Chain A
Amino acid sequence: MSLVNFTTREITCKIVYYGPGRSGKTTNLHYIYGRVPDSRRGRMVSLATQTDRTLFFDFLPIDLGQISGFNTRFQLYTVPGQVYYNATRRLVLQGADGVVFVADSQARQLDENLESLQNLQSNLLEHGVDIRTMPLVMQYNKQDLPRELILSTADLDDALNFRGVASFSADALHGVGVFETLKGVSEMVLKRLAAGSTA
């Protein structure tokens, strides 16, 4: 997928929120949706089950307007976290420019986090993408939960972030760390432009 189109003067960034079920990916998108002025956001597409689990995927287009003469758009996607929706995940992951891995900070969810991370790696590989070349940030969500229930960001870094990518502590429900995460991944994605243009 083309990230920067110089003919139509468009920059389109596809960012996928990845992670285990119920880690708060859709919550991230909802918070962002709430902060983007009406004129800048498209309709948020969310296909949820009756119990409000993401069935297919969420899609939030954001129009950042003209930046340096480029019409800049962000497309935020979430994948369904449940293990049995892997085909959908792989589909959504196709052509992603950046990935936010939303980890559930709860100690009992650690295995799910690891499993999902491995799933991300293998799904990327199926698209011929090495996870080491993909702009990726970690978000440790639900850090607002009682200390005894969750792992600290340091512990999570040790457990999950063996690649040493940028990580953000977050409370997506109340918006803490949501934009920081988005900013972090956006910068990584956009900096690839710089690398591309001077190659």
Chain B
Amino acid sequence: MTTALNPKYTFDTFVVGTANRLAVTAGRTVAENPGSAYNPLFIYSGSGLGKTHVLMAIGHAAKKLAPTLNVEYLTLDEYVEAFHAAIAAGQGDAFRRRFQNVDVLLVDDVQFLSNRKEMQSELLRLTEALQGAGHQIVLTSDRPPPEIADLDERLISRLSGGLVVDMGVPDYETRVAILRRKAEERGTTFQPGVLETVAGLEFANVRELMGALNRLVAFQAVNDQPINAEATKQLLGAAAGLAPAMAPGVSPGPGVSPGPGVSPGPPPASGDEFGAFLADVTVTVGKAVEAWRARVGEAVLRWRGEGYRTHRLERLLEQETPPAVDEAITQFVEDVERLKALEAEVGQLDPQASGDSVFRDPERMAEAEEAAAQVRAGVAPPPGPSGAFPLGGYAVGSSNEVAVSAVRAVLDQPGKKYNPLVLVGKSGLGKTHLLNALGLELARANGAVVACLSTQAFIDELIAAIDGNRVDWWRARYRRVTALLLDDIHLVAGKERTQEELFNLFNLLQDRERQLAFTAPAHPNTLTGIEERVVSRLEGGLVAELKEPDRAIKRSVLERLLAGQNVTPEPALLDYLADRPTDSVRSLVGVAQRVVAAAAAEDVPLTAGLAREVLEGQAPREERRSGGFRTSGIVVSSLGGIKSREKMVWDWPEVADRLIEELR
């Protein structure tokens, strides 16, 4: 598909004159630094002035400097044909990939792009891809990009974006040099003045000049006699109009005075001098301006391509003399790296927040830091265990030793032994205490994030998250935990969405060997309204039951409670209270509190007798109850409808007090 480079076409065999010096210099530069100097390099000139020669010479030079480079030369027509063939064969993508892997792509005769929209867009895409990958592309044409008929604006700007150089008609001296070199190559020597005469004739391009030389070589070979300058003129005179040498030369007549300055001198035969001047200026400007602008431009393209805002760099381009371009770019890159780190961090905590545009704008570093800080704060760990329930404060007896030993086993190997652990038992038996105690112990581990909350709070959070469209955030928050402890799991009954979320969370945490623990009033498989898949998972670990407290537990609870209130109870009181028929620790505590409060109110010592009087005797007197208690103000006679005073609630809050509190 591609043409091999002609070995004769190298820079060494190319005669450099003012008309083509810029193109050759640019070509050499490109060959030395493919992809970084001028990309794309666009060379245009009339036919027969050496475009193809220079193009192939670039290929040779690049190959010579870096033999591993993948250099491809082809004409646009070849490219088009190959493209059509590839499309017909259904290999369009393979075709594109093939050319995107070329390190130096040399495309000849791109003027034939006129009126070929499809090829134009293909070439545009290819140019962009090659530039993006830092690969060099060099194109030639017989006219500059804007003059190629019907060429896509984008392609024009893309092609003009690198360096556009032209090669003019060589001047007289260059023509002589070319003729000498070619004559030498052919092993022919001419009489002095012959080649100069040829060079003085008007040929449109170097190719015609070569034709003329060939005729001379042939003529001389046939005639066995060296041709002279006069014969040369006659021989070639018909082919080319006689024209004066273009270069001004040193032919001025020695006038005494230059005379009035209006005479513009001999009419210009070509824009040669101006062209050379323009070429030199182009090189100088290129060196002066492009060096830093190119660096900034590359940085802009790169970071914009990655989705970052590059206003800061673009503003550099607007400055006249930007101070410290490299420092500015380095700073920009540092900022972008910081943004990336922030975004990654935030992404873990809150996937939704990570898409925020603030993480894409190095101009707003402070805002980004702040946003990240907010997210970090927002993902403060979910509610943790309450410090009021230390494991040390948990009374152990025969009725709960199974559960307590299970908890200790869990603490030995969190997430590995009993997962999940489900504590079941009636209300007031210390499930919540034990669960929180477990949480507190688990939270001691390094880096532990323990979620310990009531199932109701869990449901409420989910509802709030759905309401605030932040379910992802809510999920991420719980997926980070190293242990999830939910109190009263039976409350998920009938909450389908919560069960769904819990199910997923359950699986995820269990997979990662994170500890799960729940409390329930009864064995999970007896709970109603909970999906089978959740129930089966709850059953999958260990279900430990807490029974009604035995006497030993009651005594130890009482002892600890009273000791905590600086009361030294008489043993009779402990026995009396422990023997009372209470079905839970909580009610036992309630009873004990009442007795203590009564004793404090009457300012009498705490005795079994007082307790008996309080719990079984007559109702407390009015004035007694006013002492320090917040009461509801409801006075219930012992003769009233309520039989057991134990069922009375003594510490109802004063509603009026509350209202005032809130109105404040």
Contact = CB atoms under 8 A, between A and B. Distances in A.
Given A171-B252, A196-B321, A67 B281 contact: yes
B288 A190 contact: yes
B161 A69 contact: yes
Contact of A174 (B160, B248, B285, B286): B248
Interface string A38-73: 001000000010011010000000001111111010
A194 B258 contact: no
A179 B276 contact: yes
Contact of A30 (B250, B261, B276): B261
Interface size class of B (residues with CB under 8 A): 35 or more
Nearest to B280: A183
A187 to B, nearest CB: 5
A6 B255 contact: no
A48 B262 CA distance: 9
B260 A52 contact: yes
Contacts of B290: 68-69
A54 to B, nearest CB: 8
B318 A6 contact: yes
Contacts of A172: 258
A196 B322 CA distance: 8
Q: Which of the listed residues B255, B281, B287, B323 has the most CB atoms from chain A within 10 Å of its own CB?
A: B281
Interface residues of A, number: 57
B79 to A, nearest CB: 26
B277 interface: yes
Interface stretch (A93-101, A141-149, A155-163): A141-149
A145 B254 contact: yes
Given A6-B319, A34-B265, A197-B321, A27 B288 contact: no
B267 interface: yes
A68 B163 contact: yes
Contacts of B641: none
B289 A193 contact: yes
B321 A199 contact: yes
A131 interface: no
A37 B270 CA distance: 9
A72 B293 CA distance: 16
B450 to A, nearest CB: 59
Contacts of A30: 261-265
A173 B252 contact: yes
Interface string B269-285: 00111101110111011
Interface string A19-31: 0001011110011
A11 interface: yes
Contact of B317 (A6, A146, A171, A199): A6
A197 B292 CA distance: 7
A133 interface: no
B273 A175 contact: yes
Contact of A193 (B160, B252, B285): B285
Interface string A174-185: 111011001100
Contacts of A186: 277, 280-281, 284
What 3 A-B pairs are tightest by C-beta distance, nearest first? A52-B260, A26-B261, A193-B288
Interface of A: 2, 4-7, 11, 22, 24-27, 30-37, 40, 48, 51-52, 54, 64-70, 72, 141-142, 144-146, 171-176, 178-179, 182-183, 186-187, 190-191, 193-194, 196-199
Interface of B: 160-161, 163-164, 248, 250-252, 254-256, 258-268, 271-274, 276-278, 280-282, 284-293, 317-323, 325
